[in-house]
């Protein structure tokens, strides 16, 4: 088991360190409710050209920075602080459905379809969970379905670490430990 984890880490680090173009780090200043300490933004994702920010413990909404607000900040011409829009976030009560539910970890969009990774800790063992839902542009809402949740066993048990990222590749959902 440890050898397969080492192999995965080696391959992952090899891919990450491939030569490529360097980009400067650019900070942008958010404003509004997103800056409140209860938000604890843990998930970042692109929905088309909009930048979505999901709190670790969403309270009925996620944040969205529309396409037109970021470019000036990204090219180094910071303007006024950015106040993200609120998008409704509707989800089943995972605290009741998933034993030891902790939080939301990752999000990816495929058109209007949404895939969400969550984390739990059951009797000291970390687990990942994958569910799906839909984005409704008309209602400006992300709605996770009440359907099945797929449990994903991590390759090793590390406290407070399960599957931390997700992406789509050739119609497959790929989660990263």
Q: Map out the domains of the chain as residue ranges.
A: 28-176
pLDDT tens digits, 24-77: 666 677 788 888 888 888 888 888 888 888 888 888 889 988 877 766 665 555
Confidence of residue 11 (pLDDT cuts 50, 70, 90): very low
Instruction: Give the integer Cα–Cα distance in Å for 43 and 121.
Output: 19
Strands 172-176, 141-144: pairing kind: unpaired
pLDDT tens digits, 143-154: 999 888 989 888
The reported pLDDT for the residue numbered 71 is 62
Q: Which residue is it, tokens 């609120």? A: 86
Strand, coil or helix: what is 7?
A: helix
Query: Cα dihedral angle (62, 128, 147, 115), rounded to 10 degrees?
Result: 50
Share of the chain above pLDDT 70, in %: 79
How many residues are given for the chain? 177
Count the Cβ atoms, other than its own, within 10 Å of residue 137: 10
Minimum mean pLDDT range among 3-7, 8-12, 34-38, 85-89 = 3-7
The reported pLDDT for the residue numbered 23 is 63
Residue 168 has pLDDT above 80, yes or no: yes
């Amino acid at each position: 088991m440890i050898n397969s984890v080492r192999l995965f880490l080696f391959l992952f680090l090899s891919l990450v360190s491939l030569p490529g173009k360097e980009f400067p780090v650019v900070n942008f200043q958010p404003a509004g409710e997103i800056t409140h300490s209860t938000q604890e933004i843990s998930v970042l994702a692109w929905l088309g050209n909009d930048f979505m920010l999901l709190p670790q413990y969403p309270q009925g909404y996620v944040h969205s920075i529309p396409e037109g607000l970021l470019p000036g900040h990204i090219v180094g011409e910071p303007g006024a602080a950015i106040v993200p829009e609120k998008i409704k976030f509707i989800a089943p009560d995972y605290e009741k459905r998933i034993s030891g539910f902790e939080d939301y970890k990752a999000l990816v969009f495929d058109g209007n379809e949404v895939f969400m990774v969550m984390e739990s800790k059951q009797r000291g063992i970390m687990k990942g969970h994958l569910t799906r839902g839909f984005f409704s542009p008309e209602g400006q809402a992300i709605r996770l379905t009440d359907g099945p949740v797929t449990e994903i066993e991590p390759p090793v048990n590390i406290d407070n670490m399960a599957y931390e990222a997700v992406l789509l590749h050739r119609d497959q959902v790929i989660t990263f430990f």
